[in-house]
Amino acid sequence: MVQELIKAFFFIFMAEMGDKTQILAMAFATKYKVQKVLLGVLIGSFLNHGVAVLLGVYMSSIIPINAVRFIAACAFILFGLWTLKAEDDEGEESAQEKFGPVVTVALAFFIGELGDKTQLAAITLSTTAQYPLFILGGTVLGMVVTSSVGIFVGSKLGKRIPELTMKLISGGIFIFFGILGLFETTPKQYVTSFNITVFFIILAAIIFILLRPSIYAMRCGEISAFKRTASELYEHMRKMSETVEDICLGEHQCGKCLGKNCMIGLLKNAMKVVNEKGIYVFPEDWNAITNTVEKKYDLDKVIEGLAMSVIISDKFNKAEDENFIANKARETFELICFKQKLPFNGDIKEYFSLLTKKDKQLGEKVINKFNQFCEMGFC
Protein backbone atom coordinates (compact mmCIF):
# COMPACT_ATOMS: atom_id res chain seq x y z
CA MET A 1 0.00 0.00 0.00
CA VAL A 2 2.59 2.52 1.14
CA GLN A 3 4.90 1.48 -1.70
CA GLU A 4 2.23 2.40 -4.25
CA LEU A 5 1.66 5.78 -2.61
CA ILE A 6 5.41 6.51 -2.61
CA LYS A 7 5.75 5.35 -6.21
CA ALA A 8 2.89 7.58 -7.38
CA PHE A 9 4.23 10.54 -5.42
CA PHE A 10 7.71 10.09 -6.82
CA PHE A 11 6.65 9.94 -10.47
CA ILE A 12 4.25 12.88 -10.26
CA PHE A 13 6.80 14.96 -8.35
CA MET A 14 9.48 14.36 -10.95
CA ALA A 15 7.08 14.89 -13.86
CA GLU A 16 5.92 18.27 -12.60
CA MET A 17 9.29 19.77 -11.69
CA GLY A 18 9.63 22.88 -13.86
CA ASP A 19 6.21 22.34 -15.43
CA LYS A 20 3.44 24.91 -15.81
CA THR A 21 1.87 23.95 -12.47
CA GLN A 22 4.84 25.52 -10.69
CA ILE A 23 4.37 28.73 -12.66
CA LEU A 24 0.67 28.72 -11.72
CA ALA A 25 1.47 28.07 -8.06
CA MET A 26 4.02 30.88 -7.98
CA ALA A 27 1.61 33.29 -9.67
CA PHE A 28 -1.26 32.46 -7.32
CA ALA A 29 1.03 32.78 -4.29
CA THR A 30 1.70 36.40 -5.21
CA LYS A 31 -2.05 37.09 -4.87
CA TYR A 32 -3.35 34.72 -2.19
CA LYS A 33 -2.11 33.24 1.05
CA VAL A 34 0.05 30.17 0.55
CA GLN A 35 -2.31 27.99 2.61
CA LYS A 36 -5.25 28.84 0.34
CA VAL A 37 -3.21 28.23 -2.80
CA LEU A 38 -2.11 24.79 -1.61
CA LEU A 39 -5.66 23.93 -0.52
CA GLY A 40 -6.85 24.85 -4.02
CA VAL A 41 -4.09 22.71 -5.55
CA LEU A 42 -5.15 19.82 -3.30
CA ILE A 43 -8.82 20.05 -4.33
CA GLY A 44 -8.16 20.57 -8.03
CA SER A 45 -5.61 17.76 -8.20
CA PHE A 46 -7.84 15.40 -6.22
CA LEU A 47 -10.72 15.89 -8.65
CA ASN A 48 -8.50 15.68 -11.74
CA HIS A 49 -6.57 12.61 -10.63
CA GLY A 50 -9.68 11.01 -9.12
CA VAL A 51 -11.13 10.87 -12.63
CA ALA A 52 -7.81 9.46 -13.88
CA VAL A 53 -7.68 6.69 -11.27
CA LEU A 54 -11.27 5.65 -12.00
CA LEU A 55 -10.40 5.37 -15.69
CA GLY A 56 -7.27 3.36 -14.87
CA VAL A 57 -9.13 0.91 -12.65
CA TYR A 58 -11.82 0.44 -15.30
CA MET A 59 -9.21 -0.24 -17.99
CA SER A 60 -7.46 -2.86 -15.87
CA SER A 61 -10.72 -4.75 -15.40
CA ILE A 62 -11.33 -5.22 -19.15
CA ILE A 63 -7.79 -5.54 -20.58
CA PRO A 64 -5.43 -8.49 -19.81
CA ILE A 65 -2.90 -7.57 -17.14
CA ASN A 66 0.17 -8.26 -19.31
CA ALA A 67 -1.22 -6.01 -22.05
CA VAL A 68 -1.90 -3.33 -19.45
CA ARG A 69 1.69 -3.57 -18.18
CA PHE A 70 3.02 -3.33 -21.76
CA ILE A 71 0.87 -0.26 -22.45
CA ALA A 72 1.96 1.25 -19.13
CA ALA A 73 5.64 0.72 -20.02
CA CYS A 74 5.15 2.42 -23.40
CA ALA A 75 3.26 5.23 -21.67
CA PHE A 76 6.13 5.78 -19.22
CA ILE A 77 8.58 6.16 -22.09
CA LEU A 78 6.21 8.63 -23.75
CA PHE A 79 5.90 10.57 -20.47
CA GLY A 80 9.68 10.74 -20.26
CA LEU A 81 9.95 12.04 -23.82
CA TRP A 82 7.14 14.50 -23.14
CA THR A 83 9.06 15.77 -20.12
CA LEU A 84 12.15 16.35 -22.27
CA LYS A 85 10.16 18.40 -24.77
CA ALA A 86 10.82 22.14 -24.58
CA GLU A 87 7.82 24.03 -23.22
CA ASP A 88 6.37 26.90 -25.22
CA ASP A 89 6.32 30.25 -23.43
CA GLU A 90 2.58 30.40 -23.36
CA GLY A 91 0.93 32.88 -21.05
CA GLU A 92 -0.84 30.93 -18.36
CA GLU A 93 -3.94 32.84 -17.53
CA SER A 94 -5.58 32.14 -14.21
CA ALA A 95 -9.23 31.21 -13.97
CA GLN A 96 -11.75 34.02 -13.68
CA GLU A 97 -11.64 35.09 -10.07
CA LYS A 98 -15.33 34.90 -9.25
CA PHE A 99 -15.38 32.23 -6.58
CA GLY A 100 -12.69 33.20 -4.08
CA PRO A 101 -9.04 32.07 -3.81
CA VAL A 102 -9.48 28.36 -3.04
CA VAL A 103 -12.10 27.63 -5.73
CA THR A 104 -10.25 29.79 -8.27
CA VAL A 105 -7.00 27.87 -7.74
CA ALA A 106 -8.83 24.52 -7.71
CA LEU A 107 -10.56 25.29 -11.03
CA ALA A 108 -7.30 26.46 -12.60
CA PHE A 109 -5.48 23.28 -11.61
CA PHE A 110 -8.36 20.95 -12.51
CA ILE A 111 -8.73 22.47 -15.98
CA GLY A 112 -5.01 23.00 -16.51
CA GLU A 113 -4.20 19.34 -15.82
CA LEU A 114 -6.89 17.85 -18.07
CA GLY A 115 -5.07 15.67 -20.58
CA ASP A 116 -1.70 16.63 -19.10
CA LYS A 117 1.05 14.05 -18.64
CA THR A 118 0.40 13.84 -14.89
CA GLN A 119 -3.23 12.91 -15.41
CA LEU A 120 -2.20 10.32 -17.96
CA ALA A 121 0.48 9.06 -15.56
CA ALA A 122 -2.18 8.69 -12.85
CA ILE A 123 -4.27 6.60 -15.26
CA THR A 124 -1.25 4.45 -16.09
CA LEU A 125 -0.21 3.91 -12.47
CA SER A 126 -3.73 2.94 -11.42
CA THR A 127 -4.13 0.29 -14.16
CA THR A 128 -1.71 -2.03 -12.32
CA ALA A 129 -2.40 -0.87 -8.76
CA GLN A 130 -3.73 -3.10 -6.02
CA TYR A 131 -4.74 -0.07 -3.97
CA PRO A 132 -5.97 2.68 -6.36
CA LEU A 133 -6.79 5.06 -3.50
CA PHE A 134 -3.14 5.07 -2.48
CA ILE A 135 -2.20 5.90 -6.08
CA LEU A 136 -4.64 8.81 -5.90
CA GLY A 137 -3.16 9.93 -2.57
CA GLY A 138 0.38 9.75 -3.95
CA THR A 139 -0.40 11.69 -7.13
CA VAL A 140 -2.25 14.42 -5.24
CA LEU A 141 0.54 14.66 -2.67
CA GLY A 142 3.05 14.93 -5.52
CA MET A 143 1.12 17.84 -7.01
CA VAL A 144 0.90 19.66 -3.68
CA VAL A 145 4.59 19.20 -2.88
CA THR A 146 5.63 20.24 -6.40
CA SER A 147 3.49 23.36 -6.10
CA SER A 148 5.08 24.07 -2.72
CA VAL A 149 8.50 23.87 -4.36
CA GLY A 150 7.28 26.31 -7.02
CA ILE A 151 6.16 28.74 -4.34
CA PHE A 152 9.44 28.35 -2.48
CA VAL A 153 11.43 28.95 -5.67
CA GLY A 154 9.26 31.98 -6.29
CA SER A 155 10.28 33.28 -2.86
CA LYS A 156 13.94 32.95 -3.85
CA LEU A 157 13.47 34.86 -7.08
CA GLY A 158 16.45 35.50 -9.25
CA LYS A 159 18.47 32.46 -8.13
CA ARG A 160 19.77 30.10 -10.76
CA ILE A 161 17.80 26.92 -11.39
CA PRO A 162 19.43 23.97 -13.24
CA GLU A 163 16.42 23.47 -15.52
CA LEU A 164 18.03 21.30 -18.18
CA THR A 165 19.52 19.05 -15.51
CA MET A 166 16.13 18.69 -13.81
CA LYS A 167 14.50 17.99 -17.16
CA LEU A 168 17.04 15.25 -17.91
CA ILE A 169 16.64 13.63 -14.49
CA SER A 170 12.86 13.76 -14.59
CA GLY A 171 12.56 12.46 -18.16
CA GLY A 172 15.31 9.89 -17.61
CA ILE A 173 13.50 8.33 -14.65
CA PHE A 174 10.32 7.81 -16.68
CA ILE A 175 12.21 6.41 -19.68
CA PHE A 176 14.32 4.08 -17.50
CA PHE A 177 11.33 2.47 -15.79
CA GLY A 178 9.47 2.35 -19.09
CA ILE A 179 12.32 0.40 -20.70
CA LEU A 180 12.42 -2.02 -17.76
CA GLY A 181 8.68 -2.55 -18.16
CA LEU A 182 9.07 -3.23 -21.88
CA PHE A 183 11.75 -5.86 -21.30
CA GLU A 184 9.52 -7.58 -18.74
CA THR A 185 6.38 -7.63 -20.88
CA THR A 186 7.62 -7.96 -24.48
CA PRO A 187 7.41 -11.55 -25.81
CA LYS A 188 10.87 -13.13 -25.69
CA GLN A 189 11.00 -13.88 -29.42
CA TYR A 190 11.03 -10.12 -30.10
CA VAL A 191 13.80 -9.33 -27.60
CA THR A 192 16.70 -9.78 -30.03
CA SER A 193 20.01 -7.95 -30.30
CA PHE A 194 18.92 -6.38 -33.58
CA ASN A 195 15.58 -5.15 -32.21
CA ILE A 196 17.18 -3.81 -29.05
CA THR A 197 19.83 -1.93 -31.07
CA VAL A 198 17.23 -0.41 -33.40
CA PHE A 199 15.03 0.54 -30.43
CA PHE A 200 17.82 2.39 -28.63
CA ILE A 201 18.99 4.14 -31.81
CA ILE A 202 15.47 5.41 -32.47
CA LEU A 203 15.02 6.40 -28.81
CA ALA A 204 18.35 8.26 -28.77
CA ALA A 205 17.43 10.11 -31.98
CA ILE A 206 14.07 11.19 -30.53
CA ILE A 207 15.71 12.35 -27.30
CA PHE A 208 18.27 14.36 -29.26
CA ILE A 209 15.53 16.02 -31.36
CA LEU A 210 13.47 16.88 -28.26
CA LEU A 211 16.44 18.24 -26.28
CA ARG A 212 17.94 20.23 -29.14
CA PRO A 213 15.73 23.36 -28.60
CA SER A 214 16.48 23.36 -24.85
CA ILE A 215 20.22 23.01 -25.40
CA TYR A 216 20.17 25.73 -28.04
CA ALA A 217 18.19 28.04 -25.74
CA MET A 218 20.66 27.42 -22.91
CA ARG A 219 23.62 28.19 -25.14
CA CYS A 220 21.95 31.38 -26.37
CA GLY A 221 21.22 32.48 -22.83
CA GLU A 222 17.45 32.14 -23.15
CA ILE A 223 15.41 31.49 -20.01
CA SER A 224 12.07 29.84 -19.40
CA ALA A 225 8.78 31.57 -18.69
CA PHE A 226 9.09 30.52 -15.05
CA LYS A 227 12.54 31.97 -14.53
CA ARG A 228 11.84 35.07 -16.60
CA THR A 229 8.66 35.89 -14.68
CA ALA A 230 10.37 35.23 -11.36
CA SER A 231 13.47 37.29 -12.05
CA GLU A 232 11.59 40.22 -13.61
CA LEU A 233 9.12 40.45 -10.75
CA TYR A 234 12.00 40.23 -8.28
CA GLU A 235 13.90 43.07 -9.95
CA HIS A 236 10.83 45.32 -10.15
CA MET A 237 9.89 44.75 -6.51
CA ARG A 238 13.49 45.25 -5.40
CA LYS A 239 13.55 48.63 -7.15
CA MET A 240 10.31 49.71 -5.51
CA SER A 241 11.54 48.43 -2.14
CA GLU A 242 14.64 50.63 -2.42
CA THR A 243 12.41 53.62 -3.18
CA VAL A 244 10.11 52.92 -0.22
CA GLU A 245 13.10 52.78 2.14
CA ASP A 246 14.02 56.37 1.19
CA ILE A 247 10.54 57.95 1.37
CA CYS A 248 10.56 58.59 5.12
CA LEU A 249 12.40 61.79 6.08
CA GLY A 250 13.05 60.67 9.64
CA GLU A 251 11.63 61.57 13.06
CA HIS A 252 13.21 65.04 12.98
CA GLN A 253 10.85 65.90 10.09
CA CYS A 254 7.60 64.09 10.86
CA GLY A 255 7.76 63.63 14.62
CA LYS A 256 7.55 60.34 16.50
CA CYS A 257 8.00 57.23 14.34
CA LEU A 258 4.81 55.15 14.30
CA GLY A 259 6.40 52.08 12.71
CA LYS A 260 3.75 49.75 11.31
CA ASN A 261 1.07 52.27 12.25
CA CYS A 262 2.39 54.60 9.56
CA MET A 263 1.42 54.00 5.92
CA ILE A 264 5.04 54.00 4.78
CA GLY A 265 6.15 52.02 7.83
CA LEU A 266 3.59 49.32 7.05
CA LEU A 267 4.63 49.35 3.40
CA LYS A 268 8.26 48.87 4.42
CA ASN A 269 7.26 45.90 6.54
CA ALA A 270 5.26 44.43 3.65
CA MET A 271 8.19 44.88 1.26
CA LYS A 272 10.41 43.06 3.76
CA VAL A 273 8.02 40.09 3.61
CA VAL A 274 8.22 40.21 -0.19
CA ASN A 275 12.01 40.12 -0.17
CA GLU A 276 12.28 37.39 2.45
CA LYS A 277 9.36 35.10 1.60
CA GLY A 278 8.22 36.08 -1.88
CA ILE A 279 4.64 36.67 -0.70
CA TYR A 280 3.05 39.53 -2.63
CA VAL A 281 -0.22 39.82 -0.72
CA PHE A 282 -0.59 42.91 1.48
CA PRO A 283 -0.50 41.55 5.04
CA GLU A 284 -2.51 43.88 7.30
CA ASP A 285 -5.49 46.20 7.60
CA TRP A 286 -4.24 49.04 5.43
CA ASN A 287 -7.39 51.17 5.79
CA ALA A 288 -6.85 51.59 9.52
CA ILE A 289 -3.75 53.78 9.12
CA THR A 290 -4.55 56.05 6.17
CA ASN A 291 -4.64 58.97 8.61
CA THR A 292 -0.84 59.18 8.42
CA VAL A 293 -1.09 60.72 4.94
CA GLU A 294 -0.36 64.17 6.41
CA LYS A 295 3.10 63.18 7.65
CA LYS A 296 6.10 64.59 5.78
CA TYR A 297 7.63 62.37 3.11
CA ASP A 298 10.18 62.72 0.31
CA LEU A 299 7.78 63.65 -2.49
CA ASP A 300 10.26 62.83 -5.29
CA LYS A 301 10.63 59.30 -3.92
CA VAL A 302 6.85 58.99 -3.57
CA ILE A 303 6.49 59.92 -7.26
CA GLU A 304 9.18 57.40 -8.16
CA GLY A 305 7.36 54.71 -6.16
CA LEU A 306 4.03 55.58 -7.80
CA ALA A 307 5.52 55.26 -11.29
CA MET A 308 7.10 51.88 -10.47
CA SER A 309 3.93 50.54 -8.87
CA VAL A 310 2.00 51.36 -12.07
CA ILE A 311 4.63 49.55 -14.15
CA ILE A 312 4.48 46.45 -11.93
CA SER A 313 0.68 46.29 -11.92
CA ASP A 314 0.56 46.68 -15.69
CA LYS A 315 3.48 44.42 -16.63
CA PHE A 316 2.29 41.50 -14.51
CA ASN A 317 -1.45 41.99 -15.23
CA LYS A 318 -2.33 42.73 -11.59
CA ALA A 319 -4.14 46.05 -12.00
CA GLU A 320 -7.47 44.72 -10.73
CA ASP A 321 -6.06 42.59 -7.90
CA GLU A 322 -6.68 44.84 -4.91
CA ASN A 323 -4.63 42.67 -2.52
CA PHE A 324 -1.49 42.70 -4.68
CA ILE A 325 1.16 44.66 -2.80
CA ALA A 326 2.08 46.91 -5.74
CA ASN A 327 -1.54 48.10 -5.92
CA LYS A 328 -1.64 48.85 -2.21
CA ALA A 329 1.64 50.71 -2.62
CA ARG A 330 0.16 52.69 -5.53
CA GLU A 331 -2.83 53.67 -3.40
CA THR A 332 -0.48 54.75 -0.61
CA PHE A 333 1.47 56.96 -2.99
CA GLU A 334 -1.76 58.37 -4.47
CA LEU A 335 -3.00 59.37 -1.02
CA ILE A 336 0.26 61.18 -0.30
CA CYS A 337 0.36 62.95 -3.68
CA PHE A 338 -3.32 63.53 -4.49
CA LYS A 339 -5.03 63.07 -1.08
CA GLN A 340 -7.22 60.29 -2.47
CA LYS A 341 -7.14 56.84 -4.02
CA LEU A 342 -7.58 56.82 -7.79
CA PRO A 343 -9.02 54.06 -10.02
CA PHE A 344 -6.62 52.10 -12.21
CA ASN A 345 -7.96 49.30 -14.43
CA GLY A 346 -4.78 48.69 -16.43
CA ASP A 347 -5.30 51.51 -18.95
CA ILE A 348 -2.15 53.57 -18.37
CA LYS A 349 -3.11 56.45 -20.69
CA GLU A 350 -6.45 56.83 -18.96
CA TYR A 351 -4.78 56.69 -15.56
CA PHE A 352 -2.16 59.30 -16.45
CA SER A 353 -4.88 61.55 -17.85
CA LEU A 354 -6.65 61.30 -14.50
CA LEU A 355 -3.45 62.18 -12.63
CA THR A 356 -2.88 65.35 -14.65
CA LYS A 357 -6.50 66.37 -14.11
CA LYS A 358 -6.05 66.06 -10.37
CA ASP A 359 -2.73 67.89 -10.31
CA LYS A 360 -1.03 68.74 -13.59
CA GLN A 361 2.44 69.30 -12.14
CA LEU A 362 2.50 66.13 -10.05
CA GLY A 363 0.89 64.11 -12.84
CA GLU A 364 3.55 65.17 -15.33
CA LYS A 365 6.30 64.27 -12.86
CA VAL A 366 4.84 60.77 -12.49
CA ILE A 367 4.63 60.40 -16.28
CA ASN A 368 8.24 61.56 -16.71
CA LYS A 369 9.46 59.13 -14.07
CA PHE A 370 7.43 56.34 -15.70
CA ASN A 371 9.09 57.10 -19.06
CA GLN A 372 12.52 57.12 -17.43
CA PHE A 373 11.89 53.66 -15.98
CA CYS A 374 10.76 52.45 -19.40
CA GLU A 375 13.98 53.72 -20.95
CA MET A 376 15.83 51.71 -18.29
CA GLY A 377 14.01 48.56 -19.43
CA PHE A 378 11.47 48.15 -16.62
CA CYS A 379 8.36 48.44 -18.82
Residue 162's pLDDT band, with cuts at 50, 70 and 90, is low
pLDDT of residue 91 exceeding 70: no
Looking at residue 299, its pLDDT comes to 86
Query: Which spans in the chain are helix H?
Result: 2-16, 20-29, 34-62, 65-84, 101-112, 117-127, 132-155, 163-185, 193-219, 225-245, 251-254, 263-277, 299-315, 325-338, 348-358, 360-375
What would the pLDDT profile of 32-89 be if each residue is shown by its tens digit?
A: 777 888 888 889 888 888 888 887 777 666 767 677 678 777 877 887 788 777 655 4
What would the pLDDT profile of 252-275 be if each residue is shown by its tens digit?
A: 556 666 666 677 777 777 777 666
Q: Is 278 left (phi over 0), alpha (psi -120 to 50) or beta?
A: left
Nearest CA to 72 among 122, 4, 116? Answer: 122
What would the pLDDT profile of 267-315 be if each residue is shown by its tens digit?
A: 777 777 666 666 666 666 555 455 555 677 788 988 998 999 898 888 8
Extents of the domains making up the chain: 2-222, 228-375
Looking at residue 205, its pLDDT comes to 94
Distance CA 194, CA 198 (A): 6
Looking at residue 368, its pLDDT comes to 93
Residue 90's pLDDT band, with cuts at 50, 70 and 90, is very low
Phi, psi of 248 (to 5 degrees): -70, 135
Highest mean pLDDT range out of 222-226, 227-231, 316-320, 364-368? 364-368
Express as a percent the part of the chain with pLDDT over 90. Answer: 10
Looking at residue 224, its pLDDT comes to 56
Distance CA 77, CA 201 (A): 14
With H, G, I as helix, E, B as strand and everything else as coil, classify residue 248: strand
